[in-house]
A and B are shown apart, each in its own frame.
Chain A
Amino acid sequence: MSDHSSAVVVKQQPARALEVGKMAKLWIDIKRNRVSYYFLAPFLILFTLFTIIPILTSVALSFTYYNILEAPRFIGLSNYKLLFVDDDIFLKAIGITLKFAFITGPLGYVLAFLLAWLISQIPVKYRFFYTLCFYTPSITSAVAMSVVWLYLFAGDRKGLLNHYLMKLGILDEPYLFLQNIHSIVPVIIIVSLWMSMGVGFLAFLAGLQNVPKDLYEAGSIDGIKYRWQQLIFITIPSVKPQLLFGAVMQVVFSLQVFDVSVQLVGLPSPLYAGHTILAHLFDYAFIRFEMGYASAIAVVLFCLMLGLNRLIFKWLGRD
């Protein structure tokens, strides 16, 4: 028995010495590269203070009851229990958010790619005009654009859309687009789609411009005749990294629908029909000041974003 244990000790000693040597080497390495760390320092300090610590704090707070006035009180998992079992409005918000994510996400993504591809088919000198047409909506602020949407979708016959629908005889009386619980989600989806040609669209556009020309020549020798064949066999594989980047941006965009909803239908919206997870988070955090509960909502949304993005990495990340 003792023989056996001593054998183990003998085995462990060189390993530990190696470990110490490794640490010392690492330390020397770090010291040698200290200039690099000086460059990184401002970013890392701010990143730690405003991103890493907040993530940890959020997770910690989500297990407490905290209303800012009193110190946080540990209450275990009851925030999560309340969230998933008793809070009907939250469950509804998850449903609405996922509905957005699964409609505006893929639709906006495919649309952005197709438009970028079509634009890349035309001569360079005309491209700028079209890029401007499609990209400008995404850089307008939701708050500022509400003046247009509120007028377009206004519920009386003076609303632009109602006016024309009645003139064409499709409607007999004005439709309350922004008050009717059946039309709130579609209206927000339309406005979000209008704004969705963002960073991903630019990434696609740039990636498509830089596909090497000789790939297409090689393709035509191999018998590729049509534009759609070029698209599937040559173009898409060569812009895969941009596709992945665009997908990540799209997930983040479509899960954070909030501004548009609040501007158009208010907070809370009629019968909570346009209530998204972020709206719920904002409601509990900055209106009711229930920071613990709101943190639990934030953690759920955070996990949802990371989870969906991991999934996308799995689908698109393979070479």
Chain B
Amino acid sequence: MAGMVKGRRVDWGDVSLYTFLTVLGLVMLAPLVYMASTAIKPVSELFLFPPRFFVVNPTLINFRDLLLITGTSFVPFSRYIFNSVVVTLGIVIFGVLISAMAAYPLAKHEMPFKKWIFSMVVTALMFSPMVLQIPQYLIISKIGLMNTYFAMILPYLAAPIGMFLMTQFLRQIPDALLEAARMDGASEWKVFFTVIMPMLKPAISTFALFSFIQAWNDPYPAMVYTTHEDMKSLPLAIQTISGGAGVIARVGTLAAASFLMIIPTIIVFVITQRMVLQTMAHSGLKE
């Protein structure tokens, strides 16, 4: 705690800073802790009165129930997890590749329409893709992709935020390295894969984090683009277990499912956070 004590006197400014941040931080975390503790509560504690925040006799029964209850219904719960994983990985992997490929010429090449294309992407940052849902739905159903994984992946691949972050990040990287590779006779594709991609790693992890969170949490693609139960994704399945707003049924099972849903996003953030902060330093917008 070197920061808290300067010389021999306690710095009250620092003490109040740490106290404030810690208290507020714990308040922010409380709902998550509550969810985790609900997920491992036995039935006897779930409906206890007065309600109890922490669990006393932790148990894994809710997780077992989650697999058992939903296992007897006609689509096993693992199928929802599988669908979510396939769709999310598809969006993250191909989205990263497509955005990186597009960011390279925009940041490092001189060509006609460059400024124009970039400002189009910046404009696209300014609205939510939710407003485009109807025509996207019409396009997907017209080209016959309903109820396929493509329907849930393709519309989300060209993400303006990924392309924007990568372009801004690449602009900071000196051209000398690229020149050296070109002198050695490398083609533009080789430069891209051997020089650009490794250097882009921080921006790639950042965008991978954002698109992972977005794709993993979003119930709407599955809601809109699928009609078959076995194509639904995890968030939609959780909605089904809960029975909709205002219904408190199967609290333990629901908490277990919700817990399983949130854990991957936190893990991905913990892994990528150092690189995320490196990238976000170049996220500035200027006019």
A residues with a Cβ closer than 8 A to B are 26, 29-30, 33, 35-37, 39-40, 42-44, 46-47, 49-51, 53-55, 57-58, 61, 68, 115, 118-119, 121-123, 126, 128-137, 139-152, 154, 158-160, 163, 167, 178-179, 194, 199, 202-203, 205-207, 209-210, 239-242, 244-245, 248-249, 251-252, 255-256, 258-259, 262-267, 278, 281, 285-286, 291, 294-295, 298-299, 301-302, 305-306, 309, 313, 317-319
Q: Report whether A266 and B35 are in contact in the complex, using a CB–CB cutoff of 8 Å.
A: no
With known contacts A136-B29, A148-B35, A242–B102 Cβ distance under 8 A: no
B9 at the interface (CB under 8 A from A): no
Tell whether, in the assembled complex, residue B283 and residue A54 are in contact, meaning their CB atoms are under 8 Å apart.
Answer: no
**How many B residues face the partner with a CB closer than 8 A?**
99
Residues from chain B with Cβ under 8 Å of A35 in the complex: 105, 188
Q: Does B2 contact A (CB under 8 A)?
A: yes
Among A30, A46, A144, A148, which residue has its beta carbon within 8 angstroms of that of B154? A46
Interface residues in B110-149 by Cβ distance below 8 A to A read 110-112, 117, 121, 123-139
Q: Which residue of B lies closest to A140 (CB)?
A: B262
B38 contacts chain A at the CB level, 8 A cutoff: yes
Say whether A244 contacts B286, CB under 8 Å: yes
Check if A258 sits within 8 Å of B280, measured CB to CB.
no
Instruction: Say whether, besides A133-B29, A207-B280, A285-B134, A248 and B285 are in contact (CB < 8 Å).
Output: yes
Q: In the assembly, what is the distance between CA of A263 and CA of B270, in Å?
A: 27
Q: How far is the CA of A54 from the CA of B132 in the complex (A)?
A: 6
**Majority secondary structure of chain B interface residues (helix, strand, loop or mixed):** helix
* A264: B residues at CB distance < 8 A: 245
The verdict on A118 contacting B105 (CB below 8 Å), with A44-B117, A148-B31 known, is no
* Contact A43–B98 (Cβ < 8 Å): yes
How many inter-chain contacts with C-beta < 8 Å in the A-B complex?
305
Q: Is the CB of A51 within 8 A of B158?
A: yes
Query: What's the dominant secondary structure at chain A's contact region?
Result: helix
Partner of A295, one of B26, B129, B134, B219: B134
CB of B31 to closest CB in A, whole Å:
5
Cα–Cα distance between A146 and B2 once the two chains are bound (Å): 41
Q: Which residue of A lies closest to B50 (CB)?
A: A163
The 3 closest A-B pairs by CB, nearest first: A241-B284, A133-B25, A141-B217
